[in-house]
Structure 1
Amino acid sequence: MARKSRKNITTMPDIASNLLKTAVYIRLSVEDNKNRGNSVDTQKQIIENFIAITPELEIYDSYIDNGLTGRNFDRPEFNRMLDDIEKGRIQCVVVKDLSRLGRNSISTGYYVEKHFPLRGVRFIAVNDNFDTANDFNNGSGIILPLKNMINEAYSMDIAKKIKAQQQQAMREGQFVGARPPYGYKKSPEDCHKLVIDEVTAPVVKRIFEMSSEGVGLAPICRALNEDNILPPSQYAQSQGIISHKNLLGNGNWQTRTLMKILSSEVYMGDLVQGKSKSVNRKQMPNSEDKWIIVKDTHEPIIDRALFAKVQEIRAEKSEKKSGEWTENIFKGKIVCGYCGKNLHRQRVPRARDIIYIFHCISNTRIAKGSCDGHIYFKEDDLKQAIIKVIDVQSDILLGKNIRLQHKYKAFEKQMFETDKELLAIAKEVEKNQKYLKTLYENLVLGIIDLSEYKEMKSGYEVKIEQGRQKHFEITSKKESLNQQIGQFDALTNEVNSIHSTKQLNREIIEKLIERIVVKDDNSIDIIFTFQNAFPLVEEVLSNGK
């Protein structure tokens, strides 16, 4: 067969590849687990079968949010998909139905009618026969909002029913928590009933007995730690009840853990539930009149007389310690330079005034010999030491800022050259997109065969993707540099104001300081939040650009 001439190959308007890079989006909430039609596998199969018979679609990636509600759009995989859309990697999003995208009518409508179209992204809901490329769907102002409102109403109705069922179960004396309290376990026959844990119940009884004898929280902590008794979170992990590292704590008994145990009525055999409520997906304390209390629902670990005695002793100690405390502006920031634990802030009344000191309590609360240091640092002395370090940082930052201002003309020239490079890349991508479309037209016309088309198409697609990636990287670096210069200037002004006023507060500490390490000789080492935070600014200063 004679080879056809290629001289008629022509360029076409700026149109991307014929195949649309498509995102497969799947969401499964907790309540959907009971519906097999909404399972992850089912959703994936429906979407992939649809794409297989739709020639213009090509799967780019799958994004699966498992166990997440449709009323909240802050989902990890959904956010990753949005990020890929912003980077130009996706031209189409396909879901099983509109409810998989979301059950919030306003937000779902925003993404389908505003966010996706503005970015040139087609949206398809397979089972709803909804496609933004369809003129009927695009022109209808009724169908999409109506479906979204139905989905939202369904979600709210399910949430209300679940809440009502839980409250009724609480009133009936059923335990509805995810994890049993320390000292108990869930009955193998009924997960809503608590039974004695033979391993941990004696520990609970020991804690109450020591407290009733006037032993303080710190000595109780140390005794339990020295006896190598697992604290509640570690014990729960050993039983397979929890696994997430954020729930495990530091592996030692803490005074706040003891306070929680010593104040819990559950150890008298009573259930007190409903202490918290969900507000905007966050747990908030509930007023006491909303608590649901049911007595004698399970076997007690201690008797009521012992519980009452402990509460009386703790109330007396609390009254003796009463008094106004100033704000701890260093909370969570100051650590021991020997054992790495947070230093304890203590209020010390004196004849004429009250002072605050920081000291390490590892030897008194964890175990003797657990820390080699003996830190005792007055808070006022600590503040003065920190201000001296900040004064040094102020001089360094001010010097760098002055150098940066002197090099501003060179910086502007650099930005001009960057803009020229970005323009050249954009033109190159545009040219390759035109060639790619021309390639498809010539395949249809028979000027080139399928194997030639595939080979040349692959080459152009690689060039387009490389161009887009380079454009994205340069643009990101340019935006980051501009942002860092603005932040660096603001930081210099803020640190300089501390240098002038010699005043510290919680907001400043939170913003500027990551950690303060203290040692016996009252030496401090400060790790600032802005250390290594401005690499592009440092690059400009070091290169002289």
Structure 2
Amino acid sequence: MRFLNVALYVRVSTDIQVDGYSIDEQLERLEKYCDAKDWIIYNKYIDPGFTGSNINRPGLTKLLQDIHKGKIDLVLVYKLDRLSRSQKDTLYLIEEEFLPNNVDFISMTENFDTSTPFGRAMIGILSVFAQLERENIKTRLAMGHVGRAKAGYWRGGANPPIGYDFVDGKLVINEYEAYQVRLMYKMYLEGESIYSIFMYIRKHFTNRYSSYRTAKQIGVILKNRIYIGKIKYKGVEYDGIHEPIIDIDTFEKVQKRYKEISSKWSDHYRSPFKGKYLLTGLLFCGNCGARYFASTQRRKDKTTGKYIKSTESYVYYKCYTRDGNKAMRKADYCKNPTIRVDKLDKVILDEIKKLKLNPDRLEQIINSESEKKVEDVELTILKNKLADTQCKIDKLMELYTIGTIPITEIGDRIKPLYEAKEKIELVIDIRKKKLQEPDKLSISETKDILDQFADIDNLNHNLKRELVQSLIKRIEILPEPDSIKIYWKFV
């Protein structure tokens, strides 16, 4: 029989690349087969990198569309499992799609076709074996995942953890994202709440998955042992071969603080996702540059020398260098003052009240203050990453030019690099615009915020904290007694 319109269907999935059935090899053999039979090839339908476990494939979808339009007389594949590895899907395609539309199906390797009774019987038998092989592959893959984990390799896949790329079967540090991970750990150890870290990171950074959507993502990153070089699979932890992003000492300090905050969460202790005190995360020492933290300081009775009951103790904001964790210190010594929490909180809230009571005060502050420019680490990292990506593209083009890489392969390898390059360039443009036009509140936006929190004195703690965080970027405690500097978000 001479078929006028033959459709060649070829597929290669990632889990069977090693079988040797490449796209080019399948096409070459199918074309020779058609030449020998004097068949006319209508079109070639290709699905590179798609699994045979389902029929959601672009090439197969286009083939079915052309079949429904009456353009195809015969579908030719190199091997039955190229069509599908599922018995159910194979029989569906042949019995529900091909035959009802007067389209025959031939598998070249198995040497049978649906135009004969014997060929139809063999289709059902071979479909069973195709599905059996698929189940065997799943078993081998599961065993392979365990073996990879034991050898220190990450399980692989399309969703590596933030901070890493998955290259040639290994986790490789992504410097732009790794900087974000290190910053999260640093901010948390410096006293920031997980929620405040989330708000900052979401505003200033992006990742491979677009952006950070919930504060819980930050919590997961702060607890993920993959960042200290560990691999976990099926509940068992192994030593990884990838380079750690966080050192063990820093990681353990973060876990300790996380555990303490979580276990003591009550009215008297903060949640790991929200700051307990009004100004947590905003206070900095104007002398040494360290952060300020809140600490309860018990008082002694001047007569007896004994500590007074804790209910009568005061909580103070203190400089880390002067009286805090050594890891948080910015100098060897600092005499910057400690300030009672209740007093400083009142000062800041009073300043916000002045903004509300005096509409002209906004313009007065804007005219008298100017933002300080800081070194943009993010932009530097992005530019380095862009240069590295361009270097990889240039190397591939060089290999193609000298004939080392065939044209069929260069496209698959260079496309994701160009896509990555475009994304980096887009992020760089956005970052540059932010630097040219500082991301700050307008006067109208500031007034809207003040209107939303009308009765400041009667707000609960969380709403007061939200108000302060919405209007203020930073507060510096200056060496002079009772002296502070507020960095507003509208300046």
TM-score norm. by structure 2 comes to 0.48
| Higher normalized contact order (CA 8 Å, seq sep 6+, divided by chain length) | 1
In the superposition, the TM-score normalised over structure 1's length comes to: 0.44
